[in-house]
Structure 1
Amino acid sequence: MGRKDDLTKNYMKNPEIFADFFNGLIFDGKEQIDWRELKEIDSSSILDIPVPQCGKSRTAQKYRDIIKKAIIMRDKNMYYVMLGIENQSDVHYAMPVRIMLYDALTYHDQVQEIANRNKDKSVCKSNEYLSGISLEDKLYPVITATLYWGKEKWDAPTSLKEMLQEYDFKLDKYINDYNINLLSIIDLKTIPNFKTELRLLFALLNMRNDGAGMKELVSSDNRFQHISRETAELMSDFASIKLPKKQKEGDYNMCKAVLEIKNEGIAEGRAEGDLALTNAIKNLMDNMNKDFDEACNLLGINDEDRNRYKALM
């Protein structure tokens, strides 16, 4: 497992971040999932694979990134659900099959747990021994989110049917599909209503391919001046920003770190680039009490270009 994989897994495993992610993804930011009620689940599952040639089976162990049991409180009702996250630094072209397998194994683990409990209690009727569970036994629903951190757009299938070869349309209603719950940070049109630093992290990574836009973003929100180490490391690794020195308060000024990035790759004649930098100058002057020249210095704008930006203001 690489550094980026370790960073994303450890970050999203944090109960507050985990709950905030699903509250933002499913409930538009309403706190229906209490992070204090989350229960960590063993992320490994054992898979028995039949080997017909020898009449035996071999076992394979599969590991999810993160899986937790959660309680959802809605309208004074309490519901249990299994929530999982699969982090992806790169595009995965077989993700629907992978997620389908993980979810099936999580359901299988629940069946085995119930069957073992019933066996210990000797409660199974004769027609229930095959499965080990009764008609009254129910499973918790499983929801897995695929969280894509890469800087290139996600172009892989998001459903099982997208992966299949062309087939006769008469077969369609008999072929089961499986969709993934994909959140691709780089493809977001709007940032989900997160309450933690997850919102700042996703907002910055969403803009990472637009240097001027990223500078405008961090200069418009004072919260980027005080970012925790865990969030700052992800910003640094995934947006190629040099991690600044820790401040006296123990946090990191990622606004300053972004503004110190050289203004490379932004064509002077591009209207959107000029507009973004002009807005960044205004934000620094309004939000950080900088004068025009101080703002230009922070943004790395040379003397020759300053008059053009001043004229645009």
Structure 2
Amino acid sequence: METNDIVTKNFESYADVAADIINVLLNEGRRRVKDYEMLSAATESLYLDKENGLRNQLEDVAKYHMVNGVPKVLYLFANQTKVDKGMVLRKAGYAGGEYRRQYEKQNPSLYPVIEIVLYWGKSRWKGGCSLHRLFDEGGATADIIWKYV
């Protein structure tokens, strides 16, 4: 692991730094998330690979936004130095694991999972920033159709 990786992960793990990143990037600078509301969360999740072998995936930093002792949001932070066009798909696995736990009632309440990728590379990011954009670049549609019967 590069020294820069360790430094940024340690820096972002501080509650006040994580709250500032969230407020600046997602709340247009408004202080909606307070440092004392941030609680560290597990950064490792497990999944089965193609051969049904158990694999792990590590997130750089994970923080719950707690309100009255209940998770309101789980923020997942990733640091990236190289453009990865499929990053959105890779990060979906982390969020999907947390939603699976919520679905299986392992958590006391439902809450959104928000993945934040902080890109530190020198060249401009040209990868997809959303599933919609990723599929549009490939010529497919990314719309999800819900039909109630």
- Which residue of structure 2 aligns with residue 149 of structure 1? 120
Indicate whether 1:166 and 2:132 are aligned.
no
SS of alignment partner, residue 16 of structure 2: helix
Structure of higher RCO (CA pairs closer than 8 Å, 6+ residues apart): 2
The corresponding residue for 2:26 is: 26
Cα–Cα, structure 1 residues 151 and 140, in superposed 2: closer, same or farther, change >3 Å?
A: same
* CA separation of 1:172 and 1:80: change in aligned 2, threshold 3 A: closer
Q: Equivalent residues in 2 for 1:56-135 (5 A)?
A: 57-71=52-66, 80-112=72-104, 114-115=105-106
AA matched with 1:64? E
Identical amino acids, percent of aligned pairs? 26
Return the TM-score normalized by structure 1. Answer: 0.41
Q: Aligned with 1:84: secondary structure?
A: strand
Counterpart residue identity of residue 60, structure 1: R
Q: 2: CA distance between counterparts of 1:103 and 1:49?
A: 17
Q: CA deviation at 1:109?
A: 3.0
RMSD (Å) for aligned C-alpha atoms: 2.7
Q: Deviations over 1:187-223 (max 9, x none)?
A: xxxxxxxxxxxxxxxxxxxxxxxxxxxxxxxxxxxxx
Contact 2:37 2:65 in 1 (8 A): yes
- Equivalent AA in structure 2 for residue 166 of structure 1: G
How many residues align? The count is: 143
1:219-277 per-position Cα deviation (integer Å, ceiling 9, x unaligned): xxxxxxxxxxxxxxxxxxxxxxxxxxxxxxxxxxxxxxxxxxxxxxxxxxxxxxxxxxx
Greater CA deviation, 21-30 or 95-104? Answer: 21-30
The 8 Å contact of residues 45 and 109 in structure 1, kept in 2 or not, is answered as: no
CA contact (8 A) 1:33 1:71 kept: no
Map 1:152-231; keep pairs closer than 5 Å. Answer: 152-161=123-132, 162-163=134-135, 165-167=138-140, 173-174=143-144
- The secondary structure found in structure 2 opposite 1:33 is coil
- Give the SS at the match of 2:127: coil
**What's the TM-score once normalised by structure 2's chain length?**
0.80
Measured against aligned partners, the alpha-carbon deviations of 1:21-63 in whole angstroms (never above 9, x if no partner) come to: 1111222222221111211111111112464xxxxx2211111
CA distance in 2, matches of 1:18, 1:82: 12
Q: Is the 8 A contact 1:45 1:62 kept in 2?
A: yes
Q: What are the superposed Cα offsets for residues 73-132 of structure 1, whole Å, 9 maximum, x if unpaired?
A: 9xxxx97111111111221221111121111112123334x24x8xxxxxxxxxxxxxxx
SS of corresponding position for 1:144: strand
Kept in 1, the 8 Å contact 2:19–2:34? The answer is: yes
Structure 1: which amino acid aligns with 2:56? Q
Helix, strand or coil at the partner of 2:125: coil
Larger Rg: 1
The structure where helix makes up a greater share of residues is 1
- Structure 1, unmatched stretches of 5+, are 52-56, 118-136, 176-313
Gaps of 5+ in 2: none
